[in-house]
Amino acid sequence: MNFAAIRKEMEKDSVEIEEKVFNEYYVPLAEHCSKIRNAKIGSDEDTFTVFIQGAQGSGKTVLTKVLNLILASEGYNVAGCSIDDFYLSYADRAVLAEKHPGNPFFAVRGTLGTHRHAYLYDMLQRIKQGEDFSIPHFDKSLHEGRGDITDRVTAVKGRQDFFLFEGWCLFTPAVATDVFLDVMAGDEYVHGLFNELDPSRKYYKAVLEYAEEYQKIWQLADSMVILEAEDIKFITQWRLNQEKTTKKKSAGAGMTPAEVVEFVKPYIPITELIAKRKSQKSPGVSLSIGENQRPKGPMKEIS
């Protein structure tokens, strides 16, 4: 499928893509995924899982959709989803917040522990075994931008050649407390935010405990694509841009700019931890993402 055809498909979701980015990044990424998968054919698990990780607003969702279209145009069976669709319900997240009173990491969705991780792990195992599966859908616009589970699901039949799985928290490592604190101290901006969130150095420990339960999920990645923010300070503005798009596409009210700024703070320390200590070492590539939410510099291979 050429650029014009891809652009037309993306416009159905009100997403614009640039021909330069398409040719210099999306096409080489698709070729890289095909190359690695084809080298693995003959194993017991022919469904090739590509995990796409990056900070909020770094372009994971758009990248996933474009890769899906390119690979499907080459004759592959492709499916994909986001870890966001496996959030706990609004009610269950309220219970979780009550379990961790005052903990800012559980006042928002997205932190490790706020997902139906057992359900996700089971689905990914079925995918790798070539079984039918259903992808749930989470509506982020409900409850004034806090989001909730919906009744809608996407049924996928038969073995897939590729499964593309994206999320900001993929590859969060399970590390000791001293390692986490060393990472927090390594960047002045991150350190300042962490001091604001957790001045007594107690709240982050619950996140690290939940991280243990996710490690088996990360191990199901055959390859990874990492979108690294050139400057972690860009994340807040990216998330503000993302919220504007969400409001346009949905009937929900969403969050105000001030609410978005507060909402994104707990994500940044964990994003920094992933950048410095990501747990998965699958082959793949990384891209540096500039302030304009576009890739900068060459694609780097991760071995």
- Least Cα distance to 114 among 103, 105, 126, 123 occurs for 105
Q: Give yes or no for residue 36 having a pLDDT over 60.
A: yes
Scan for tokens 């640039």, then name that residue: 18
Under a CB-based contact definition with an 8 Å cutoff, are residues 47 and 161 in contact? Answer: yes
**Torsion angle, alpha carbons of 289, 283, 165, 97, to 10:** -80
Q: How far apart are CA 56 and CA 46, in angstroms?
A: 30
In terms of DSSP bridges, do strands 295-302 and 284-289 run parallel, antiparallel, or are they unpaired?
A: antiparallel
pTM of the model: 0.92
pLDDT score recorded for residue 88: 96
Under a CB-based contact definition with an 8 Å cutoff, are residues 280 and 52 in contact? Answer: no
pLDDT score recorded for residue 44: 52
pLDDT score recorded for residue 257: 86
pLDDT in tens, 48-86: 999 999 998 899 999 999 999 999 999 999 999 999 999
**Torsion angle, alpha carbons of 109, 234, 64, 300, to 10:** -130
Q: Give yes or no for residue 263 having a pLDDT over 90.
A: no
For 34-175, list the strands marked E by DSSP. 48-54, 78-82, 133-139, 148-156, 162-167
Helix (H) or strand (E) holding 29: helix 27-40
Percent above pLDDT 90 for the chain? 76
Q: According to CATH, what is the number of the domain 3-295? A: 3.40.50.300
What is the chain's alpha carbon radius of gyration, rounded to the nearest angstrom? 19
User: Apex CA 302: angle with CA 75 and CA 210, to 5°?
Assistant: 95
Query: Average pLDDT of 95-102?
Result: 94
Q: How far apart are CA 245 and CA 261, in angstroms?
A: 16
Where exactly are the structural domains of the chain?
3-295
pLDDT in tens, 106-143: 988 889 999 999 999 999 999 999 999 999 999 988 88
Under a CB-based contact definition with an 8 Å cutoff, are residues 146 and 139 in contact? Answer: no
Query: Average pLDDT of 205-216?
Result: 96
Split at pLDDT 50, 70, 90, the class of 4 is very high
Query: Average pLDDT of 270-288?
Result: 89
If you average pLDDT over each of 99-113, 156-170, 231-245, which comes out highest? 156-170
Task: Compute how many other C-beta atoms are within 10 angstroms of the C-beta atom of residue 3.
Answer: 15
Query: Average pLDDT of 181-188?
Result: 97
